[in-house]
Amino acid sequence: MPSSLLIVESPSKAKTLKKYLGQDFEVLASYGHVRDLVPKSGAVDPDKNFAMKYQLIPRNAKHVDAITQAVAAAEHVYLATDPDREGEAISWHLVQILNNKKLLKGKTAQRVVFHEITKNAVLDAIANPRDISQELVDAQQARRALDYLVGFNLSPMLWKKIRRGLSAGRVQSPALRLICERENEIRAFTEQEYWSIHLDSHKGRQKFGAKLFELGGNKLDQFDIPSEAIQADTLARLAGHPATVSNVDKKKKTRNPAAPFTTSTLQQEAVRKLGMTTDRTMRTAQQLYEGVDIGQGTVGLITYMRTDAVVLSNDALTEIRSYIEQQFEPAFLPKTPVTFKNKSKNAQEAHEAIRPTSIERTPAAMKPFLTTDQFKLYEMIWKRTLACQMAPAKFDTTSVDITVGEGVFRATGQVQTFAGFLAVYEEDVDDAEDEDNAKLPALEVGDVLPVDKLYGEQHFTQPPPRFSEASLVKALEEFGIGRPSTYASIISTLKDREYVVLDKKRFLPTDTGEIVNKFLTEHFGQYVDYNFTAKLEDQLDEIANGRREWVPVMETFWKGLAKQLSEKEGLSRAEVTTESLDEACPKCSKPLQIKFGKRGRFIACTGYPECDYTRDIGETAESAAAAAEEPTVIEGRTCPECGGALHIKKGRYGKFIGCANYPKCKHIEPLEKPRDTGVTCPECKTGSLIERKSRYGKLFYSCNTYPKCKYATWNPPVAEPCPKCHWPILTIKTTKRRGTEKVCPQKECGYSEVIAPPEAKEA
């Protein structure tokens, strides 16, 4: 019988650790959290120092039973849950359960922490156990209590004031506010015209361009040439003059490598470079951390993926520098290790950045053992880690001023003279940097150049872009909203609640999201205020560091929230969901208003129900009247349900065919017959996959026997079985990065085959 018991969170991690620890250890998994607050009001009692009522999570009851039986037979108990606050809290909950069952009499349950699942790290942790950190537990309990008090008090108010099924969250609501405020900025944006003046020239066979930056001795501002007429006048002033090189400025420039990945930067880079969502990124990173069978047993390939630290251990630095020394020329290895400073003031110094557990496990060597997602993420982590310890890249930069009459044009360029870290990890560059990277011919002061072309380019200012997952994660981190480990769940919640939708990989708030945000910002502004949320996160960090007690933090928070809840109880639904318009109803002349219904916002008459006038947001009264004048009748067909006439109608999601006897008869059908792909449904094997449109206009492909069979896929299907898992169909997927490829729709398979490479970028 094993004399020691090690408890971890994940069953896959348990298998890996069992191999390291041998026969003296039994390794069991808690399968995540074992207890949670009871799911009803009163689980957190503000009148009793925020006492919290917990219950066993039903799905994990059998795993807790297995742990309690093993504890009874073990001499030593080690708690090796994840090395963060949640992991500390899980260990604490397990000890509470074991103490309640009186199973720890004469035994000690000690905490062990390791940030990578390698044999040395695990054995070292076992040799150096510690007590459970009550400070970390208090910080996690405070976070859970705060989230509970917000959720169980603000969410019911949303149900009463807006509609059932909505929720508010301590960090999700400020994140929603970010998205909604960006949308308001875009709507309020007024584009502004401006022009730039350019010179095309050449020396020998090498062509190059320059941009006017000074005119009449004054440096030009972006809007100094605001119209086509002024642009034409400027060109006339410059025409006919020779182009002479008046200044050449040559400099040496270096670019340093980026720090190794933190949770936040990993999520941002995976979204931008790999096209992976934050949730998918964290799931894949978890798999790499917990362990993969690489032919010689299961081993964790990366260190713990929830970290805000950018430091690397001395052992890791020694191994990385040794690898660089062996694989690269001497110039690629700096004389001393490259160090990075943690940006987060509360970064836990005991944690490392996300890195490979061994740099010797190259992506090429690991590829046969990894899924497509695992390989792409591992390769990115490996390259970034290796690059961070390499020498800076070096460039020769040149800035040339060319005088044409009273104007001075500037051409800039740079040439890479030493690749440095860029030999391993190529960072993204924006368009402006691409311009700077242009190569220039050898130019000297006094050179007279030909004026091949003088011309103006029209531009318009652009509104701020909507948030992508990467830019939203960056904004959440900058504002201190939540912590990196929570970003994926924040984004998932916003999408699951249908507060936002993704349009061209950018977040667009729905009508529901905007109504919820408007209510919270107007009536509970303090709790969606970015500074307030960030300050609260700082206080949680101070609790974890032992510099603050958790109960006083809770008392201050609850006092303010309870007061506002009481003050807002009397608000009516109409006050929250309607908005007056300075426009009269075209039918009865009463004022119009914006209302909120099941399908979102719409314009309606305040005289309802006497007046039933409505129209869509964004639709003018004239267009609504024109559409309502004469319904288009479908000739030669009648309603299959009641025999009435069929009309072409217009709804929230476009035109459709409906019965003229609505609402007595509710028969509807699409205006256009869905295109049949001719591909047999792989799930039911009787239906055919047809092309449909989602409510947001995006194409997808689903079985024509719906709702009997609910199989669907976003990408166009082809009737070819997957060579890897033999699923009956493949789908065609096109991305800018990989081009067009055949992919298996089964996520766990990961098969892909490029059939057309991405289009080459213009030089």
- CATH number of the domain enclosing 530: 1.10.460.10
Encode pLDDT of 18-42 as tens digits.
888 888 899 999 988 999 999 887 8
The pLDDT of 690-702, averaged and rounded, is 81
Final residue in a domain of this structure, among 550, 573, 596: 573
Encode pLDDT of 40-53 as tens digits.
878 999 999 999 99
Pick the range with the lowest mean pLDDT from 251-265, 502-516, 642-656.
642-656
Pairing of β 448-449 and β 109-111: unpaired
In the block, tokens 């896929």 appear at: 713
Instruction: Find out whether the peptide bond into 463 is cis, omega within 30 degrees of 0.
Output: no
Encode pLDDT of 486-529 as tens digits.
899 999 999 988 899 998 889 999 999 999 999 999 999 888 89
The pLDDT of 210-235, averaged and rounded, is 94
The verdict on 87 and 201 lying in the same domain is: no
The verdict on 106 and 181 lying in the same domain is: no
Say what the pLDDT of residue 660 is.
86
| Total domains in the fold of the chain | 6
pLDDT beyond 70 at 84? yes
The pLDDT of 61-79, averaged and rounded, is 92
pLDDT beyond 60 at 201? yes
pLDDT beyond 70 at 696? no
Encode pLDDT of 298-324 as tens digits.
889 999 998 888 989 888 999 999 999
Q: Please, which residues have CB within 8 angstroms of residue 193's CB and are 6 or more apart in sequence?
A: 226, 227, 458, 459, 460
Final residue in a domain of this structure, among 652, 670, 688: 670
Cβ atoms 297, 509 nearer than 8 A: no
pLDDT beyond 50 at 432? no
Say what the pLDDT of residue 429 is.
46
Enter the tokens of residue 70: 């093993």
Cα gap 94→100, rounded to integer Å: 10
pLDDT beyond 80 at 655? no
Domain contains 148: no
Encode pLDDT of 551-603 as tens digits.
999 999 999 999 999 988 888 888 888 888 989 998 899 999 999 887 788 99
Encode pLDDT of 103-113 as tens digits.
988 888 999 99
The pLDDT of 462-491, averaged and rounded, is 91
Say what the pLDDT of residue 762 is.
40
The pLDDT of 328-340, averaged and rounded, is 94
More confident residue, 622 or 77: 77
- Entry pTM: 0.75
Cα gap 170→174, rounded to integer Å: 7
The verdict on 272 and 340 lying in the same domain is: yes
Range of the structural domain that residue 409 is part of:
193-256+393-460
Q: Mark residue 597 as left, alpha or beta (left: phi above 0; alpha: psi -120 to 50; beta: remaining).
A: beta
Cβ atoms 16, 291 nearer than 8 A: yes
Percentage of the chain surpassing pLDDT 90? 57
In the block, tokens 């207890």 appear at: 35
Cα gap 347→320, rounded to integer Å: 23
pLDDT class of 662 with cuts at 50, 70, 90? confident
Domain contains 413: yes
Final residue in a domain of this structure, among 442, 460, 478: 460
The verdict on 182 and 330 lying in the same domain is: no
pLDDT beyond 70 at 167? yes
pLDDT beyond 50 at 222? yes
The verdict on 719 and 706 lying in the same domain is: yes
Domain contains 763: no
The verdict on 104 and 14 lying in the same domain is: yes
Cβ atoms 613, 605 nearer than 8 A: yes
The verdict on 8 and 125 lying in the same domain is: yes
The pLDDT of 423-452, averaged and rounded, is 75
Pick the range with the lowest mean pLDDT from 451-465, 527-541, 709-723, 733-747.
733-747
Say what the pLDDT of residue 88 is.
94
The verdict on 498 and 647 lying in the same domain is: no
pLDDT class of 255 with cuts at 50, 70, 90? very high
Please give the C-alpha separations between residue 6 and each of 110, 306, 592, 603, in angstroms, as whole numbers: 10, 22, 67, 62
Cα gap 170→179, rounded to integer Å: 16
Residue 395 phi/psi, 5-degree rounding, is: -140, 150
Say what the pLDDT of residue 431 is.
39
Known catalytic membership, residue 378: no
The verdict on 238 and 356 lying in the same domain is: no
Check which CATH number belongs to the domain holding 84 and give it.
Answer: 3.40.50.140
Say what the pLDDT of residue 433 is.
42
The verdict on 662 and 590 lying in the same domain is: yes
pLDDT class of 3 with cuts at 50, 70, 90? confident
Q: What is the mean pLDDT of the chain?
A: 89
Domain contains 158: no
Domain contains 95: yes
The verdict on 538 and 434 lying in the same domain is: no
Check which CATH number belongs to the domain holding 377 and give it.
Answer: 1.10.290.10
Domain contains 542: yes
Domain contains 91: yes
* Edge-to-edge strands, sheet with 739-743: 717-718, 730-735, 739-743, 752-756
More confident residue, 337 or 426: 337
Encode pLDDT of 726-763 as tens digits.
999 999 998 877 788 999 998 888 888 888 776 654 43
Say what the pLDDT of residue 527 is.
87
Instruction: Find out whether the peptide bond into 609 is cis, omega within 30 degrees of 0.
Output: yes
Cα gap 589→604, rounded to integer Å: 12
First to last CA, the chain: 69
Pairing of β 4-8 and β 76-79: parallel
The verdict on 9 and 117 lying in the same domain is: yes
Say what the pLDDT of residue 763 is.
34
pLDDT beyond 90 at 190? yes
Domain contains 553: yes
Q: Which of 148, 289, 304, 701 is catalytic?
A: 304
Say what the pLDDT of residue 499 is.
93
Enter the tokens of residue 577: 């969901």
Q: Which of 306, 356, 310 is nearest to 88 (CA)?
A: 306
pLDDT class of 550 with cuts at 50, 70, 90? very high
Alpha helices, H only, 241-334: 263-269, 278-290, 314-327
